[in-house]
Amino acid sequence: MNIVLFEPHEISIPLPASDRRAVHITSVLRCGAGDSFDAGIIGGARGKATIEEAGKKGIRFSFTEHRKREKDDLFPVTLIVGSSRPQTMRKILNEAASLGVGRIVITGTEKSEKSYRRSRLWTTGEYRRHLILGAEQAFSTKIPEVDRFDDLASCLRTVKRCERIALDNYEATIALSSFTFSSPCCVLAVGPENGWSASERRMLLNGGFVLARLGTRVLRTETACVAGISLVLSGLGLF
Protein backbone atom coordinates (compact mmCIF):
# COMPACT_ATOMS: atom_id res chain seq x y z
CA MET A 1 0.00 0.00 0.00
CA ASN A 2 1.66 3.20 -1.22
CA ILE A 3 -1.21 5.55 -0.42
CA VAL A 4 -4.04 5.15 2.09
CA LEU A 5 -7.44 5.76 0.52
CA PHE A 6 -10.62 6.90 2.22
CA GLU A 7 -14.22 7.30 1.17
CA PRO A 8 -15.22 11.00 1.23
CA HIS A 9 -17.27 10.62 4.44
CA GLU A 10 -14.39 8.89 6.26
CA ILE A 11 -12.16 11.96 6.23
CA SER A 12 -14.08 13.56 9.10
CA ILE A 13 -14.44 10.53 11.39
CA PRO A 14 -11.93 8.48 13.45
CA LEU A 15 -10.50 5.35 11.86
CA PRO A 16 -11.25 2.25 14.01
CA ALA A 17 -8.17 0.42 15.30
CA SER A 18 -9.40 -2.82 13.70
CA ASP A 19 -9.54 -1.28 10.21
CA ARG A 20 -6.88 -2.68 7.84
CA ARG A 21 -5.71 0.86 7.11
CA ALA A 22 -5.22 1.65 10.79
CA VAL A 23 -3.19 -1.53 11.17
CA HIS A 24 -1.06 -0.53 8.19
CA ILE A 25 -0.56 3.03 9.46
CA THR A 26 0.51 1.96 12.94
CA SER A 27 2.26 -1.36 12.27
CA VAL A 28 3.79 -0.95 8.81
CA LEU A 29 4.28 2.81 8.50
CA ARG A 30 4.89 3.03 12.26
CA CYS A 31 3.10 6.36 12.48
CA GLY A 32 1.91 7.89 15.72
CA ALA A 33 0.49 11.18 16.92
CA GLY A 34 2.01 14.07 14.97
CA ASP A 35 3.18 11.92 12.07
CA SER A 36 1.89 12.28 8.50
CA PHE A 37 1.30 9.78 5.72
CA ASP A 38 0.21 9.85 2.06
CA ALA A 39 -3.54 9.72 1.79
CA GLY A 40 -6.29 10.35 -0.73
CA ILE A 41 -10.03 10.47 -1.27
CA ILE A 42 -11.35 7.75 -3.56
CA GLY A 43 -12.12 9.41 -6.87
CA GLY A 44 -10.75 12.70 -5.61
CA ALA A 45 -7.67 14.47 -4.33
CA ARG A 46 -4.39 13.24 -2.93
CA GLY A 47 -2.68 14.85 0.02
CA LYS A 48 -1.27 14.28 3.50
CA ALA A 49 -3.07 12.96 6.56
CA THR A 50 -1.69 14.01 9.93
CA ILE A 51 -2.43 11.88 12.98
CA GLU A 52 -3.87 13.96 15.80
CA GLU A 53 -4.51 11.08 18.17
CA ALA A 54 -3.76 7.34 18.07
CA GLY A 55 -4.81 4.79 20.65
CA LYS A 56 -6.58 1.52 21.29
CA LYS A 57 -9.86 2.89 19.97
CA GLY A 58 -8.39 4.05 16.69
CA ILE A 59 -6.84 6.98 14.84
CA ARG A 60 -8.09 10.54 14.60
CA PHE A 61 -6.49 12.50 11.77
CA SER A 62 -6.77 15.60 9.63
CA PHE A 63 -6.41 15.64 5.85
CA THR A 64 -4.74 18.35 3.79
CA GLU A 65 -5.20 18.27 0.04
CA HIS A 66 -2.14 18.98 -2.12
CA ARG A 67 -2.31 22.58 -3.36
CA LYS A 68 -1.16 21.56 -6.82
CA ARG A 69 -3.29 18.74 -8.14
CA GLU A 70 -1.25 16.09 -9.92
CA LYS A 71 -2.73 14.37 -12.95
CA ASP A 72 -4.16 11.05 -11.85
CA ASP A 73 -6.38 9.93 -14.70
CA LEU A 74 -7.22 6.37 -15.62
CA PHE A 75 -6.24 5.19 -19.09
CA PRO A 76 -8.70 4.97 -22.04
CA VAL A 77 -8.68 1.17 -21.95
CA THR A 78 -11.67 -1.10 -21.35
CA LEU A 79 -10.98 -4.65 -20.19
CA ILE A 80 -13.64 -7.25 -20.97
CA VAL A 81 -13.18 -10.49 -19.03
CA GLY A 82 -15.15 -13.71 -19.29
CA SER A 83 -16.57 -14.59 -15.88
CA SER A 84 -14.07 -16.77 -14.00
CA ARG A 85 -13.54 -18.23 -10.54
CA PRO A 86 -13.81 -15.67 -7.73
CA GLN A 87 -10.17 -16.14 -6.73
CA THR A 88 -9.13 -15.41 -10.30
CA MET A 89 -11.40 -12.37 -10.56
CA ARG A 90 -10.00 -10.92 -7.32
CA LYS A 91 -6.52 -10.93 -8.84
CA ILE A 92 -7.75 -9.42 -12.10
CA LEU A 93 -9.65 -6.61 -10.38
CA ASN A 94 -6.63 -5.74 -8.25
CA GLU A 95 -4.09 -5.81 -11.08
CA ALA A 96 -6.30 -4.06 -13.65
CA ALA A 97 -6.98 -1.24 -11.17
CA SER A 98 -3.27 -1.03 -10.41
CA LEU A 99 -2.46 -0.77 -14.12
CA GLY A 100 -5.02 2.03 -14.51
CA VAL A 101 -7.66 0.70 -16.91
CA GLY A 102 -10.68 2.95 -17.07
CA ARG A 103 -13.40 0.31 -17.24
CA ILE A 104 -13.69 -3.38 -16.41
CA VAL A 105 -16.55 -5.40 -17.87
CA ILE A 106 -17.29 -8.88 -16.55
CA THR A 107 -19.39 -10.98 -18.90
CA GLY A 108 -20.96 -14.39 -18.70
CA THR A 109 -19.83 -16.70 -21.50
CA GLU A 110 -20.83 -20.08 -22.84
CA LYS A 111 -17.96 -21.73 -20.95
CA SER A 112 -18.33 -19.80 -17.68
CA GLU A 113 -19.91 -21.38 -14.62
CA LYS A 114 -23.17 -19.59 -13.84
CA SER A 115 -22.52 -19.96 -10.11
CA TYR A 116 -19.59 -17.53 -10.40
CA ARG A 117 -22.05 -14.68 -10.89
CA ARG A 118 -23.61 -15.39 -7.47
CA SER A 119 -20.29 -15.33 -5.63
CA ARG A 120 -20.06 -13.13 -2.52
CA LEU A 121 -17.40 -11.23 -4.46
CA TRP A 122 -20.29 -9.63 -6.36
CA THR A 123 -23.28 -10.01 -4.04
CA THR A 124 -21.61 -8.29 -1.07
CA GLY A 125 -19.76 -5.60 -3.00
CA GLU A 126 -16.42 -7.15 -2.07
CA TYR A 127 -15.15 -6.54 -5.59
CA ARG A 128 -14.76 -2.83 -4.84
CA ARG A 129 -12.26 -3.52 -2.08
CA HIS A 130 -9.95 -5.18 -4.60
CA LEU A 131 -10.17 -2.17 -6.91
CA ILE A 132 -9.18 0.07 -4.00
CA LEU A 133 -6.26 -2.20 -3.10
CA GLY A 134 -5.02 -1.94 -6.69
CA ALA A 135 -5.32 1.84 -6.67
CA GLU A 136 -3.48 2.07 -3.33
CA GLN A 137 -0.64 0.01 -4.79
CA ALA A 138 -0.44 2.38 -7.77
CA PHE A 139 -0.46 5.55 -5.62
CA SER A 140 -3.71 6.59 -7.27
CA THR A 141 -7.10 7.71 -6.00
CA LYS A 142 -9.00 6.60 -9.10
CA ILE A 143 -10.68 3.20 -9.47
CA PRO A 144 -12.15 1.74 -12.67
CA GLU A 145 -15.83 1.63 -13.47
CA VAL A 146 -17.12 -1.96 -13.28
CA ASP A 147 -20.06 -3.39 -15.23
CA ARG A 148 -21.42 -6.93 -15.43
CA PHE A 149 -23.42 -8.69 -18.14
CA ASP A 150 -25.00 -12.11 -18.44
CA ASP A 151 -23.68 -12.78 -21.93
CA LEU A 152 -21.18 -11.50 -24.47
CA ALA A 153 -23.80 -10.15 -26.88
CA SER A 154 -25.20 -7.81 -24.21
CA CYS A 155 -21.69 -6.80 -23.22
CA LEU A 156 -20.57 -5.91 -26.74
CA ARG A 157 -23.53 -3.58 -27.25
CA THR A 158 -21.99 -1.25 -24.67
CA VAL A 159 -18.53 -1.07 -26.28
CA LYS A 160 -17.60 2.31 -27.70
CA ARG A 161 -15.71 2.93 -30.93
CA CYS A 162 -12.08 2.08 -30.24
CA GLU A 163 -9.44 -0.38 -31.24
CA ARG A 164 -10.98 -3.78 -30.49
CA ILE A 165 -8.75 -6.71 -29.64
CA ALA A 166 -9.66 -10.14 -28.28
CA LEU A 167 -7.00 -12.52 -27.01
CA ASP A 168 -7.33 -16.04 -28.39
CA ASN A 169 -5.08 -19.08 -28.43
CA TYR A 170 -6.65 -20.81 -31.42
CA GLU A 171 -7.65 -18.50 -34.27
CA ALA A 172 -5.52 -15.41 -33.66
CA THR A 173 -4.19 -13.81 -36.84
CA ILE A 174 -1.67 -11.44 -35.27
CA ALA A 175 0.61 -11.12 -32.27
CA LEU A 176 -0.60 -8.42 -29.88
CA SER A 177 2.97 -7.12 -29.64
CA SER A 178 2.93 -6.30 -33.37
CA PHE A 179 -0.52 -4.69 -33.47
CA THR A 180 -0.49 -1.12 -34.85
CA PHE A 181 -2.78 1.23 -32.94
CA SER A 182 -4.55 3.97 -34.88
CA SER A 183 -6.99 5.03 -32.15
CA PRO A 184 -6.21 6.65 -28.77
CA CYS A 185 -8.35 4.11 -26.92
CA CYS A 186 -8.75 0.34 -26.85
CA VAL A 187 -11.11 -2.43 -25.78
CA LEU A 188 -9.27 -5.62 -24.82
CA ALA A 189 -11.32 -8.81 -24.41
CA VAL A 190 -9.94 -11.79 -22.49
CA GLY A 191 -11.89 -15.04 -22.37
CA PRO A 192 -12.75 -17.04 -19.25
CA GLU A 193 -10.55 -19.83 -17.93
CA ASN A 194 -11.86 -22.24 -20.59
CA GLY A 195 -11.57 -19.74 -23.42
CA TRP A 196 -14.04 -18.40 -25.97
CA SER A 197 -16.51 -20.66 -27.72
CA ALA A 198 -16.62 -20.85 -31.52
CA SER A 199 -19.82 -18.77 -31.64
CA GLU A 200 -18.27 -16.14 -29.36
CA ARG A 201 -15.25 -15.86 -31.65
CA ARG A 202 -17.60 -15.20 -34.56
CA MET A 203 -19.46 -12.64 -32.46
CA LEU A 204 -16.22 -10.86 -31.63
CA LEU A 205 -15.08 -10.86 -35.25
CA ASN A 206 -18.47 -9.55 -36.40
CA GLY A 207 -18.16 -6.86 -33.75
CA GLY A 208 -14.93 -5.56 -35.25
CA PHE A 209 -12.49 -7.31 -32.94
CA VAL A 210 -9.11 -8.57 -34.09
CA LEU A 211 -8.12 -11.92 -32.62
CA ALA A 212 -4.59 -11.63 -31.24
CA ARG A 213 -2.19 -13.92 -29.42
CA LEU A 214 0.29 -13.21 -26.64
CA GLY A 215 2.66 -15.97 -27.68
CA THR A 216 2.88 -19.74 -27.87
CA ARG A 217 2.34 -20.38 -24.17
CA VAL A 218 -1.09 -20.89 -22.60
CA LEU A 219 -1.45 -18.43 -19.73
CA ARG A 220 -3.79 -18.18 -16.78
CA THR A 221 -6.59 -15.69 -17.30
CA GLU A 222 -5.18 -13.28 -14.70
CA THR A 223 -1.72 -13.48 -16.28
CA ALA A 224 -3.13 -12.91 -19.77
CA CYS A 225 -4.98 -9.83 -18.49
CA VAL A 226 -1.83 -8.27 -17.04
CA ALA A 227 0.29 -9.08 -20.10
CA GLY A 228 -2.43 -7.92 -22.49
CA ILE A 229 -3.11 -4.64 -20.70
CA SER A 230 0.63 -3.92 -20.53
CA LEU A 231 1.07 -4.42 -24.28
CA VAL A 232 -2.00 -2.32 -25.06
CA LEU A 233 -0.79 0.55 -22.87
CA SER A 234 2.61 0.34 -24.51
CA GLY A 235 1.07 0.32 -27.97
CA LEU A 236 -1.02 3.38 -27.11
CA GLY A 237 2.11 5.16 -25.91
CA LEU A 238 0.85 5.29 -22.32
CA PHE A 239 3.51 3.09 -20.75
pLDDT tens by residue, 70-102: 677 899 999 999 999 999 999 999 999 999 999
Q: Sign of dihedral through CA atoms 90, 91, 92, 93?
A: positive
pLDDT computed for residue 138 by the predictor: 96
Whether the per-residue pLDDT at 15 is higher than 90: the answer is yes
What's the rounded mean pLDDT across residues 96-115?
Answer: 96
Q: Of 37-46, 70-79, 114-123, 136-145, where does mean pLDDT reach its minimum? A: 70-79
Q: Cα separation of 172 and 213, whole Å?
A: 6
Mind listing the pLDDT tens digit for each residue in 46-70? 999 999 999 888 999 999 998 776 6
Average confidence score pLDDT of the chain: 94
pLDDT computed for residue 73 by the predictor: 87
Whether the per-residue pLDDT at 191 is higher than 90: the answer is yes
Helices (H) and strands (E) in the chain, counts: 7, 12
Contact 192, 142 (CB under 8 A): no
pLDDT computed for residue 117 by the predictor: 87
pLDDT computed for residue 68 by the predictor: 74
pLDDT computed for residue 234 by the predictor: 97
β partners of residue 38: 48
- What single letter denotes the amino acid at residue 71? K
For 129, the enclosing helix (H) or strand (E) is helix 126-137
Q: Which residues contact 212 (CB under 8 A, 6 or more apart)?
A: 165, 166, 167, 168, 172, 173, 174, 175, 176, 179
Contact 210, 179 (CB under 8 A): yes
Q: Which residue has the higher pLDDT, 68 or 4?
A: 4
pLDDT computed for residue 70 by the predictor: 67
pLDDT computed for residue 175 by the predictor: 96
Whether the per-residue pLDDT at 229 is higher than 90: the answer is yes
Per DSSP, 3 falls in state S
